Amino acid sequence: MRLDGYLGAPIFDTSGRLLIGHVAFETEGPLDVAILASPLFQIFVSRASAELRRKRAEDVLRASEEHYRLLVEHQTDVVVKLDGQQRLLFVSPSFCRLFGADEQALLGSRFRPSVAEEDRGRFEAAWQSLEMPPHEARFEERLATAQGWRCIAWSQKAMVDDENRITAVIAAGRDVTDRLRAEEQARQHLQQLAHVGRISAMGEMGSAIAHEINQPLTAVRTYAQACRRLLAAGVGPQELGDTLERVAHQAERAAEIIQRLRGFLAQQEVQAMQVDPNFLVREVIDLCRAEASQCGVQLRLDLATHALPRVHVDPIQVEQIVLNLVRNGIEAIQQAESIERVLTVSTQRRGREAWVSVQDSGPGVAPDAAARIFDAFFTTKPGGMGVGLALSRSIAEAHGARLWLDQTGSGALFHLALPAVTDDEGDRA
SS3 110: coil
Q: Which of 269, 289, 306 is the last residue of a domain?
A: 269
The total of structural domains in the chain comes to 4
Residues 241 and 225 in one domain: yes
Residues 102 and 232 in one domain: no
Following DSSP, what letter does each residue of 299-366 receive, concatenated? Answer: EEEE---SSPPPEEE-HHHHHHHHHHHHHHHHHHHHHHT-SS-EEEEEEEEETTEEEEEEEESS----
Residues 305 and 426 in one domain: yes
- What does the pLDDT read at residue 400? 85
Determine the residue type at 117: E
Residues 117 and 163 in one domain: yes
CB 239 within 8 A of CB 230: yes
Q: What is the CATH number of the domain that holds 387?
A: 3.30.565.10
Cα separation of 229 and 240, whole Å? 10
Residues 216 and 297 in one domain: no
- What does the pLDDT read at residue 428? 46
Residues 134 and 275 in one domain: no
- What does the pLDDT read at residue 106? 84
Q: Which residues contact 101 (CB under 8 A, 6 or more apart)?
A: 95, 111
CB-count burial class (<10 Å; 0-12, 13-18, 19+) for 354: buried
Q: Are strands 19-27 and 5-12 parallel, antiparallel or unpaired?
A: antiparallel
Determine the residue type at 309: P
Q: Which of 269, 291, 318 is the last residue of a domain?
A: 269
Residues 215 and 162 in one domain: no
User: Which DSSP letter does residue 132 get?
Assistant: S
Residues 237 and 301 in one domain: no
Please give the chain's pLDDT, 429 residues, in tens. Answer: 455 666 667 777 666 677 767 777 666 666 666 666 667 666 776 777 777 777 777 777 776 666 666 555 556 688 888 888 888 888 888 888 888 888 788 888 888 888 888 888 888 888 888 888 888 888 888 888 888 888 888 888 888 887 778 888 888 888 888 787 877 776 665 566 566 666 665 565 555 566 556 667 776 777 677 777 767 777 666 666 766 777 776 677 676 666 656 655 555 555 678 989 998 888 888 777 777 877 888 899 999 877 788 999 888 788 888 888 888 888 888 877 667 889 999 999 988 899 999 998 888 888 878 778 777 666 666 555 556 777 788 788 878 889 998 887 778 899 999 998 875 555 444
Q: What is the CATH number of the domain that holds 166?
A: 3.30.450.20
Following DSSP, what letter does each residue of 22-90 receive, concatenated? Answer: EEEEEESS---GGGGGSHHHHHHHHHHHHHHHHHHHHHHHHHHHHHHHHHHHH-SSEEEEEETTS-EEE
Range of the domain at 196: 189-269
- What is the number of alpha carbons within 13 Å of residue 70 lying toward its C-beta? 5
Residues 264 and 293 in one domain: no
Cα separation of 23 and 10, whole Å? 6
Residues 115 and 140 in one domain: yes
Q: Which of 202, 236, 269 is the last residue of a domain?
A: 269
Residues 41 and 56 in one domain: yes
- What does the pLDDT read at residue 427? 47
- What does the pLDDT read at residue 347? 93
Residues 218 and 359 in one domain: no
